[in-house]
Structure 1
Amino acid sequence: MSWAPGLSPRARRHLREAFDRLGVTVHQHTAVAAVEPARVITADGTVLPAGVTVWSAGFAVHPIAAAAGLEVAATGQIVVDRSMRSVSHPDVYAAGDCAYAIGENGRPLPMSCASAGLTNMQATAAIIARLTGDEVPVTGLKYFGNHISLGRRDAIFQMVGEDVRSKPWYLGGRTAARLKSGILKGAEWGIAHPTFGLPTRRRRPAPASDRAAVRVAA
């Protein structure tokens, strides 16, 4: 594949300089034919010795959803409506990388931790609303950009447009690293404080006959 296709030219140059500084060698346009315990073999037969191999070739969805009979996209993801409800099995909800969810721009959300957080919030809100007979609130499904950590003191935050293509502008260096650190700490805090420090709200399940009439707010 080409060098960092998801980044703008300036961000790509930043990444190249960071890799050079960190001693990372990039083998462009190189396909991997085999991964063995102590080496990687490329398609042209080149052997790359490796003490540890970290496989990061992309994302794939477990075939269990398709095998269970749920409607899935070509990617194997569960096709959901705006509330993260399976379009073929209304009692099933999907969130995260397994959900084929359409964002505000009319395109499928990319597999990412950001998309997982948004779809998780939407699915949770929808399930609670349908159990209690309330109107389903809408969580914004907008993808803002890609964040790459380059150590504790450097990072790249590449903004993307409505077409999910990189914008000319990006945030880099210590500022981007601090932003990334803040996001990670915020996620950790959110797990420990699922209600964000707010008091929990007591809810009563609605009669089953009332649940079918629940709508998703526009």
Structure 2
Amino acid sequence: MSTSVHRIVVLGAGYSGMMCAARLAYRTRRLGVRITVVNPSERFTERLRMHQVAAGQQLGEFRIPDVLDGTGIEFVQGWATAIDPERRAVEVDGRTELGYDTLVYALGSTTDASKVPGAAEHAFTLNSPQIAGLFADRLAEVAAAGGTVTVCGGGLTGIEAATEIAESHPGLRVTLLSHGEPGAMMGDKARAHLYKAFDRLGVTVRAGVKVAKVMPDSVELSHGELVPSDVCLWTTGVVVPPLAADSGVAVDDRGLILVDETLTSVSHPEIHAIGDAAAVRQKWGTVHGTCQSGIPTGAYTADTIARVLRGRRAKPFRYGYFHQPVSLGRRDAVIQFTHADDTPRRTRLTGRAAVMYKEMVSASPLTTYRLSKRFVVTAQLSKGGRATR
């Protein structure tokens, strides 16, 4: 059914979806467009700071409708449960139907605790503020008893979580379990600073191990060793919602939407995929799902939709990484500057200079979203990405 108003539905209000929606509202303010944002919660989640919540710190709470106030965007709270690409309709909570002319798919990813026995039942994740808060409550109990905590996963999230927990609860015994070497993506000097921080904070690092099972009071490794664990935090592995695949949209073997050089679905050109939901390839390789790359995809897609609605050609998405900023508690950090393909350069920052840099680039993006309602904000400055138009 055709309408005089072009209907744009944005599924997901994380870093990428919020950037896209706010920028779209400004870019299309004279084009006769109606924008709807769908998200399960009305609270904006700062996923980059969930390790702080897990350590017991309080963050500010921001409502998505308040952030989008004044844009004319309609906010619908609920789960997108089905997409009908032929009818161009989205089902919300199994009952409400939203028609669209253009769909922006920004549902992102979550930590996958389903692959290892016991992880889903006995480990916590950082998938939401609520779960991170429950972990913080349990952590306080364990810390009061001088107990043990295991962090499974030696990626950037695991590193930040382990160091934040150790600094916030110095009486805890913190063990970081990792299949690979934590900080392996960094240069030698940045990685050396990382291990000095582990030593200073008392974090025990067990690299080259594989978790076979998570139990209520221990973690079993693949060779049979039991690592004592009063509470376990699971930070390794990601999974995306099956909604796109279930709806007949072309996806890769991980469930990410296959897109062309303009981040448009190869099977359904009215669907754009951004952030963790998209399988984005560049000349140097595949973009991996991070906030650093997600915000530029949102800004780019807003600009692209506006260009097409004005009858202009879309330009290819171009992106390269710039840095790997990693907090090591509140008083230390390490910044590894990188080539476009995320391999390390020689340059790095450590200590207080790195803390200030990390706070600058990883500060809440809400200011960027609010400014985007009135100006064209250079999105890559907020997260270090390099997206050219």
Q: Pick from 90, 93, 100 the counterpart of residue 269 of structure 2.
A: 90
> Higher strand proportion, which one?
2
**SS across alignment from 2:238:** coil
Instruction: Specify the code of the residue in structure 2 equivalent to 1:198.
Output: F
1:45 is aligned, of 224, 227, 245, to 224
Structure 2 residue 235 is matched with structure 1 residue 73: no
The residue that corresponds to 2:300 in the other structure is 122
Instruction: Report the number of matched residues.
Output: 199
Following the alignment from structure 1 to structure 2, what is the Cα–Cα distance between the partners of residues 41 and 110? 30
Match of 1:205? none
The answer to whether the Cα contact below 8 Å between 2:274 and 2:297 also exists between their aligned partners in 1 is yes
- Counterpart of 1:144, as a letter, is F
Give the whole-Å Cα distance in 2 for the aligned partners of 1:68 and 1:148: 37
- Structure 1, unmatched stretches of 5+, are 200-216
Calculate the TM-score normalised by the size of structure 1: 0.80
Q: Is the 8 A contact 1:122 1:138 kept in 2?
A: no
State the shift of 1:137 in Å: 5.5
Aligned AA (2:345): K
Question: Within 2, Cα distance between the matches of 1:99 and 1:21?
Answer: 39
The match for 1:131 among 275, 295, 309 is 309
Q: TM-score, normalised by structure 2?
A: 0.47
Q: Quick one: structure 1 residues 74 and 194, their matched pair in 2 at CA, closer, same or farther if it must change by over 3 Å?
A: farther
Task: Work out the CA distance in 1 between the residues paired with 2:264 and 2:277.
Answer: 12
Verify: 1:32 aligned to 2:207, yes or no. Answer: no
Q: Specify the alignment match of 1:14 in structure 2.
A: 193
Identity %: 32
Is residue 349 of structure 2 the alignment partner of residue 171 of structure 1? Answer: yes
Matches within 5 A, 1:144-163: 144-163=322-341
On the 8 A contact 2:259/2:278 being kept in 1, the answer is: yes
Give 3-state SS (helix, strand or coil) of 1:53's partner. strand
Give the root-mean-square deviation of aligned CA atoms.
Answer: 2.4
Note the alpha carbon deviations across 1:19-75, whole angstroms, 9 max, x for none: 111111111111001123333221122222323322111333333322322222333
Distance 2:337 2:375 in 1: 31
Tell me the distance in 1 between the aligned counterparts of 2:371 and 2:211. 42
Match of 2:290 among 96, 112, 115: 112
1:148 and 1:60 map into 2 onto residues whose CA distance is 23
- Once residues 159 and 81 of structure 1 are traced to their aligned partners in structure 2, the CA distance between those partners, rounded to angstroms, is 28
Question: Taking CA–CA contacts closer than 8 Å with sequence separation of 6 or more, which of the two structures ends up with the larger relative contact order?
Answer: 2
Q: Who is 2:145 aligned against? A: none
Distance 1:130 1:24, change over 3 A: same
Question: Which one of 361, 368, 372 corresponds to residue 190 of structure 1?
Answer: 368
**SS of residue matched to 1:176:** helix
CA contact (8 A) 2:185 2:343 kept: yes
- Residue 54 of structure 1 aligns to a residue whose secondary structure is strand
User: Which deviations, in whole Å up to 9, do the C-alpha atoms of 1:69-89 show, x marking residues without a partner?
Assistant: 222233331111222111111
| CA distance in 2 between partners of 1:149 and 1:92 (Å) | 36
Q: For 1:152 and 1:197, how far apart are their aligned partners in 2? A: 33
Unaligned runs of 5+ in 2: 1-179, 377-387
Q: Which residue does 1:209 correspond to in 2?
A: none
Cα distance in structure 1, aligned partners of 2:373 and 2:350: 29
